[in-house]
């Protein structure tokens, strides 16, 4: 709620029915500040009353066309519309009584203190739908984020609707509701064609997203308390992460892959520790040669941090022949969602019996020796 303009005027008006010889009574107020609108609005409030016998003032024309001429209704000294019928006159008197109430509300609005206005605005925000707000926050914060991050936010949005329905008011959100949602996530179903419930670590990720949305709601003024700081997250289970030994990496290097760019990028990740998203967007103008040393100078997509990283001669050779400065180094490298199948086929072809993702390659424990690693 925003403070109404001081000169708002409420007036009883008539609107002709399109099908019958009768007129609807309504109150028109202008100018009025309306939430979500930058300019003053004309607000119409219909009173569920109609009249059929208004008296027209032939000296005051209203909207007139070449075919028709209309007039404004005649009013008494108090501004009440005059009618021939007693029943219609009572309806007009009722309409004017409602108009007086609305006028008083607009007049009193200018007398509100700053505290009262702030309280009224907060009360209005508490009646907003958190689930719709969550969707807007996801779009605003992660429009340019990775597909996996966007998918996680979309999944939490779906689970919120499963938990609370289409509407969850900010006024309903408190510690107890957050705890209830936490327990709901611990037994929430998997998405898509997968069966069963999500893992504890996935539930932990989803609940962290929920807390991030609560934090943003506090910053934006929808919540008066920072609930995200008061709510404990879901403890993750320690998971065993697979990684390659140096011998296994050599096996991969000596095994053909159906996608050459995938092989080069995977080995490059193992030798440099770069993420898939950073390798995928790496351009030739982000590689510099100083003396005999190749170096990377780029901005990480995930952390937005600037990296200045020397790389080994072998890692540089995996980049291929230098091309135009704005061209991608690993042009044609598939997105994560399309990389799993050819990567798994390549690993199995090398005789390695481990469940490895592209992400696992950069966690290889030998990567701190990246300047001296040599694959046979």
Q: Is the pLDDT of residue 287 over 80?
A: yes
Torsion of CA 200, 205, 208, 209, to 10 degrees: -130
The pLDDT, as a whole number, for residue 185 is: 95
Answer for the pair 261, 330: CB distance below 8 angstroms, yes or no: yes
CA distances from 120 to 2, 114, 125 (A): 9, 10, 9
**Nearest-10 crossing angle of helices 260-272, 340-349:** 80
Answer for the pair 102, 29: CB distance below 8 angstroms, yes or no: yes
The DSSP 8-state label assigned to residue 248 in this structure reads H
What are the E-state strand segments in the chain? Answer: 9-16, 23-32, 41-51, 56-64, 69-73, 287-290, 293-299, 306-311
Q: Which of 42-56, 107-121, 227-241 has the lowest mean pLDDT?
A: 107-121
Arithmetic mean of pLDDT, 100-124: 76
Q: Is the pLDDT of residue 334 over 70?
A: yes
From first CA to last CA, the distance across the chain in angstroms is 70
Arithmetic mean of pLDDT, 129-135: 94
Q: Is the pLDDT of residue 264 over 60?
A: yes
Confidence of residue 163 (pLDDT cuts 50, 70, 90): very high
Arithmetic mean of pLDDT, 36-54: 91
The pLDDT, as a whole number, for residue 113 is: 59
**Nearest-10 crossing angle of helices 147-164, 175-185:** 110
Task: Please give the Cα distance from 281 to 287 (Å, whole number).
Answer: 12
Task: Please give the Cα distance from 188 to 206 (Å, whole number).
Answer: 11
Q: Is the pLDDT of residue 172 over 50?
A: yes
CA distances from 70 to 56, 58, 85, 247, 369 (A): 9, 9, 20, 94, 90
Task: Please give the Cα distance from 286 to 298 (Å, whole number).
Answer: 6
Q: Is the pLDDT of residue 146 over 90?
A: no
Answer for the pair 241, 360: CB distance below 8 angstroms, yes or no: yes
The pLDDT, as a whole number, for residue 369 is: 46
Percent of the chain with pLDDT over 70: 90
The pLDDT, as a whole number, for residue 21 is: 93
The pLDDT, as a whole number, for residue 372 is: 43
Q: Of 283 and 374, which is predicted with more confidence? A: 283
The pLDDT, as a whole number, for residue 49 is: 94
Arithmetic mean of pLDDT, 199-209: 93
The tokens describing 160, both together, are 């919120």
CA distances from 3 to 42, 108, 128 (A): 15, 10, 19
Work out the mean pLDDT of the chain and round it to a whole number: 86
Answer for the pair 320, 314: CB distance below 8 angstroms, yes or no: no
The pLDDT, as a whole number, for residue 106 is: 86
Confidence of residue 4 (pLDDT cuts 50, 70, 90): very low
Task: Please give the Cα distance from 332 to 261 (Å, whole number).
Answer: 7
| Class of residue 137 by CB neighbours under 10 A (exposed 0-12, middle 13-18, buried 19+) | buried
Helix, strand and coil content of the chain, in percent to the nearest 5, comes to 45, 20, 40
Confidence of residue 375 (pLDDT cuts 50, 70, 90): low
Confidence of residue 82 (pLDDT cuts 50, 70, 90): very high
CATH superfamily, domain at 246-369: Topoisomerase I; Chain A, domain 3 (3.90.15.10)
Q: Could you state, in order of their start, the residue ranges of all structural domains in the chain?
A: 9-111, 130-230, 246-369
The pLDDT, as a whole number, for residue 276 is: 87
Q: Is residue 60 helix, strand or coil?
A: strand
CA distances from 303 to 206, 279, 353, 361, 367 (A): 20, 14, 33, 19, 20
Confidence of residue 370 (pLDDT cuts 50, 70, 90): very low
Arithmetic mean of pLDDT, 2-8: 61
Confidence of residue 112 (pLDDT cuts 50, 70, 90): low
Arithmetic mean of pLDDT, 326-352: 88
Phi, psi values for residue 278, rounded to 5°? -75, -35
Percent of the chain with pLDDT over 90: 46
């Amino acid at each position: 709620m925003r403070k109404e303009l001081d000169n708002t005027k409420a007036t009883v008006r008539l609107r002709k029915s399109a099908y019958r010889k009768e007129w609807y009574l309504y109150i028109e107020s202008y100018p009025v500040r309306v939430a979500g609108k930058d300019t003053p609005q004309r607000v119409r409030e219909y009173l569920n009353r109609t009249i059929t016998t208004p008296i027209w003032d032939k000296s005051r024309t209203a909207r007139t066309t070449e075919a028709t001429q209309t007039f404004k209704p005649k009013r008494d000294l108090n501004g009440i519309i005059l009618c021939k019928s007693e029943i219609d006159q009572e309806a007009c008197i009722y309409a004017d009584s409602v108009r007086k109430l609305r006028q008083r509300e607009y007049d009193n609005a200018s007398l509100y203190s700053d505290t009262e206005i702030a309280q009224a605005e907060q009360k209005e925000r508490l009646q907003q739908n958190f689930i719709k707000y969550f969707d807007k926050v996801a779009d605003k914060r992660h429009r340019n984020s990775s597909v996996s991050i966007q998918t996680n936010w979309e999944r939490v949005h779906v689970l919120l609707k499963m938990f609370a329905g289409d509407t969850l008011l900010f006024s309903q959100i408190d510690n107890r509701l957050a705890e209830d949602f936490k327990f709901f996530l611990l037994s929430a179903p998997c998405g898509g064609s997968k069966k069963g419930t999500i893992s504890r670590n996935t539930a932990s990720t989803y609940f962290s997203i929920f807390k991030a949305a609560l934090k943003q709601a506090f910053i934006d003024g929808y919540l008066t308390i920072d609930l995200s700081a008061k709510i404990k997250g879901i403890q993750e289970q320690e998971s065993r992460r697979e990684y390659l030994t140096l011998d296994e990496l050599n096996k991969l290097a000596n095994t053909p892959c159906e996608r050459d760019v995938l092989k080069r990028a995977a080995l490059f990740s193992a030798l440099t520790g770069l993420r898939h998203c950073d390798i995928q967007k790496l351009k030739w103008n982000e590689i510099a040669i100083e003396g005999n040393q190749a170096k990377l100078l780029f901005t990480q997509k995930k952390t937005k941090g600037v990296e200045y990283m020397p790389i080994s001669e072998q890692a540089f050779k995996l980049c291929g022949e230098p091309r135009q400065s704005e061209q991608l180094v690993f042009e044609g490298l598939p997105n994560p969602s399309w990389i799993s199948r050819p990567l798994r086929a390549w690993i199995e072809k090398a005789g390695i019996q481990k469940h490895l993702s592209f992400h696992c390659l950069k966690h290889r424990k030998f990567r701190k020796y990246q300047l001296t690693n040599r694959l046979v």
